[in-house]
Chain A
């Protein structure tokens, strides 16, 4: 199994641009999580899905952030418009029945 796949690995964009981050969870896992990691705030849960349904989006910072999971093998996190304070590493993780979170390699986002 390839593990959790995220793309792109790095993204540099200008303030105001739309950013879309992508995630492919491990096949058979039924929960998917989006996290943001910064030095100041650590690893913050943004939103998680269970069986493709958003369960808790209380960590999404504001309306500029949105996430979708159209099927069991794909999810996106979109920021529109992006701001410099959104710069961080964004991780996707998936879990199966044992509630062990398997993380992807992350997307390092820099908003200029």
Chain B
């Protein structure tokens, strides 16, 4: 059973288009993180959201944490080929140091 469900699994769109990917769970998390992973490398942290309803922006990327702290979304405006990669969400609780990852959304931006 996957604790964090990410959708879609795969997404291929043209450069310049907008997109949103989702991370959903039945569990409540203390915080949620988004990572990007490129081929042959380890995941790299993009952002951490902590407060329900929180919105964080990182240039063309907008991250939102659901009010109930069970889900999150990542919106990319005017996608670029450099945005291509595997986007992973990860949930954490205050009770321990574990971070649980979703399977990821594999994003491919076409030139």
Which A residues form the contact surface with B (CB < 8 A)?
4, 31, 33, 35, 41-45, 48, 50, 55-56, 91, 93, 95, 99-106
For residue A50, which residue of chain B has the nearest CB? B97
Which B residues form the contact surface with A (CB < 8 A)?
2, 31, 33, 35, 40-45, 48, 88, 90, 92, 96-104
Known: A42-B103, A42-B104, A43-B88. A48 touches B98 (CB 8 A): yes
25 A–B contact pairs at CB < 8 A? A31-B97, A33-B99, A35-B101, A42-B88, A43-B88, A45-B98, A45-B99, A45-B100, A48-B98, A55-B96, A55-B97, A91-B42, A95-B97, A99-B92, A99-B99, A101-B33, A101-B35, A101-B90, A101-B99, A103-B42, A103-B44, A104-B42, A105-B40, A105-B41, A105-B42
B41 touches A43 (CB 8 A): no
- In the complex, what residues of B have CB within 8 A of residue A31's CB? 97
Q: State in angstroms the CA–CA spacing of A36 and B5 once bound together.
A: 18
Judged by DSSP, the binding face of A is: strand
- In the complex, what residues of B have CB within 8 A of residue A101's CB? 33, 35, 43, 45, 90, 99
Known: A50-B97, A99-B92. A43 touches B45 (CB 8 A): no
A100 touches B97 (CB 8 A): no
Task: From the candidates A93, A100, A103, name the one contacting B48 in the complex (CB within 8 A).
Answer: A100
- In the complex, what residues of B have CB within 8 A of residue A44's CB? 101
For residue B48, which residue of chain A has the nearest CB? A100
- In the complex, what residues of B have CB within 8 A of residue A91's CB? 42-43
